[in-house]
Chain A
């Protein structure tokens, strides 16, 4: 039937068009990156070897495959720079995520407990900075964190410090930048969960003798855990690969994988090594995502089991 045919054609188009685009411009590039991570750098255009010889037939392919090796990965494994960069990327991301959880939880709680009139305004206030340029927001911190900047100036005037603190070009600057840039990503999922909690639950806890702190710790927090987990993942993953923040606010010794990848690519023009770093970064990110998905699935299964 022609009607059924157009229907299937329409469905195929709706589903297939985005699929085609994403496979072509997201999935295939990863395969290319993986391939190039096994290549060697060269002073050529493109600056890596081997290049597939499309005319070479089967022989050309086998030559191509033989020229691939693990040299870049040996280099990454052997050089302390990359190991340190990987560890410090994870470290910065984990520490910033913890700080975000500490700041974000009371913030989201306060938003969820605000009056119905105020809640949309507060949500908008948290989102609006996200709509302004990331680069500009990080740049704005330079003026605040500089040795002769506003924060040091204020602290000096208050007599809290004797000399300017090294806030800019340091790990403190990177942590402040990470916390600042990703705060909305932590607050919003938490708020989404907390605002849906029935206020009667807290009233019931109060009725049963729990103080505000105990009600928060025993009722709100456990129920908000899914939001906290989602927020943590949403912040942690991009932070591991962050480039702009360590570049602008970190010191020359601030090592993060995103920055290493950038300099291998732009400064050293070592594309194969940059690709290998990208693969390493991807592996570092995939692990927590998989762990999170597993935990989520287990929780869902447990919830379903209870439901029956």
Chain B
């Protein structure tokens, strides 16, 4: 590798991680000021765990993420199967476009238009509407993840099962599903984090009593840097870090146990 490329890579990684590190370090700052180091302290974590509205918002976010990821997991897997298995059906291009468009659509548009729909059909806004909105934009992501696995799956495995007398449903449940299961789980996790992460769409489609964690954080972030938010962020980053570590450990073990 050339020294130029190597330093570009190093700088890019530093760029990606520096702000996050700053955030983590200052969550342990005793001082309320960002620029002044007032000594090590965990008091912001204590304050965080006493913050009722924040914890309630976290619970709402978890519920929404679980439900929407479950729906997106099913819909995305079905869509990936349709695209991979049904060959060139009528309207395939439009189908693909409809599936992938929500992934790149600016969130303000998705959020606004869904809200207008919900108001138009008189659906009460709350957790349910956020779940619907999140499932809608996460389905495409699940379909991409599962579709990649389906593409690399040896089709003769399914043919062999059919050849050995298994009806289509048994082929799917006994062969296809177990073999694509890791990608379905990965798609579910992706949908889960996308839902946990979303501020804009949730802000549009939520109603009274359904405040998600990002919405709560945002209302405080607008007021400026706040060490309590740093502490909350650190915990979320730690959680994600643990999940990623566990996932890579699992895949590594799978790779070895051959």
Chain A complexes with chain B: yes
A interface residue numbers (CB < 8 A to B) = 7, 10-11, 13-15, 17-19, 21-23, 25-30, 32-33, 36, 46, 103-104, 106-107, 109-111, 113-114, 122, 124-126, 128-129, 131-137, 139-144, 146, 148-150, 153, 180, 183-184, 187, 212, 234, 237-238, 240-244, 247-248, 257-258, 261-262, 265-266, 271, 274-275, 278, 281-282, 285
Q: Does B130 contact A (CB under 8 A)?
A: no
Report A61 CB to chain B, min CB distance, Å. Answer: 16
Task: Check if A142 sits within 8 Å of B225, measured CB to CB.
Answer: yes
A residues within 8 A CB of B214? Answer: 133, 135
Q: How far is the CA of A274 from the CA of B113 in the complex (A)?
A: 10
A183 near B136 with CB under 8 A, answer no
Closest A-B pairs by Cβ, 5 of them? A241-B106, A29-B113, A106-B8, A110-B9, A140-B19
Contact of B5 among A110, A126, A149 (CB under 8 A): A110
A242 neighbours in B (Cβ, 8 Å): 106
Q: CB distance B22 to A278 under 8 Å?
A: no
- 25 CB contacts below 8 A, A to B, read A11-B82, A11-B86, A15-B78, A25-B114, A32-B113, A110-B9, A111-B9, A129-B20, A131-B243, A133-B197, A134-B199, A135-B199, A135-B214, A136-B233, A136-B236, A142-B221, A143-B19, A143-B22, A143-B23, A148-B35, A187-B12, A237-B106, A241-B109, A248-B221, A285-B105
Q: Does B48 contact A (CB under 8 A)?
A: no
Q: In the complex, which residue of chain A has the Cβ closest to the Cβ of B217?
A: A135
Smallest Cβ-Cβ distance to B10: which chain A residue = A110
B117 contacts the other chain (Cβ, under 8 Å)?
Answer: yes
A308 to B71, CA, bound (A): 45
In whole Å, how far is A144's beta carbon from the nearest beta carbon of chain B? 6
A212 to B6, CA, bound (A): 14
Q: CB distance B108 to A281 under 8 Å? A: yes
Q: Point out the residues of chain A lying under 8 angstroms from B203, CB to CB.
A: 266
B interface, CB within 8 angstroms of A: 1-2, 4-6, 8-9, 12-13, 15-20, 22-23, 26, 34-35, 74-76, 78-79, 81-82, 85-86, 89, 95, 98-99, 101-102, 104-110, 112-114, 116-117, 119-120, 132-133, 135-136, 139, 143, 168-169, 193, 196-197, 199-200, 203-204, 214, 217-218, 221-222, 224-225, 229, 233, 236-237, 240-241, 243-244, 248
Chain A residue nearest to B118 in the complex (CB): A29
What DSSP secondary structure best describes chain A's contact surface?
helix
* One of B112, B135, B217 near A261 (C-beta < 8 A): B112
> Which chain A residues border B133 with CB–CB below 8 Å?
25
A285 vs B221: C-alpha distance in the bound complex, in angstroms?
29
Please measure, in the bound complex, the distance between the C-alpha atom of A136 and the C-alpha atom of B113, giving whole angstroms. 26
Provide the residues of chain A in CB contact with B169, threshold 8 Å. Answer: 10
Complex contact B35–A153 (CB within 8 A): yes
| Contact for B78 among A18, A146, A237, CB less than 8 A | A18
- Among candidates B13, B26, B120, residue contacting A32 with C-beta atoms closer than 8 Å: B120
CB closest residue in chain B, given A17: B78
Instruction: Give chain A nearest CB distance to B234 CB in angstroms.
Output: 9
- Is A26 touching B102 in the complex (CB atoms < 8 A)? yes
Partner of A278 from B101, B108, B199 at Cβ < 8 Å = B108
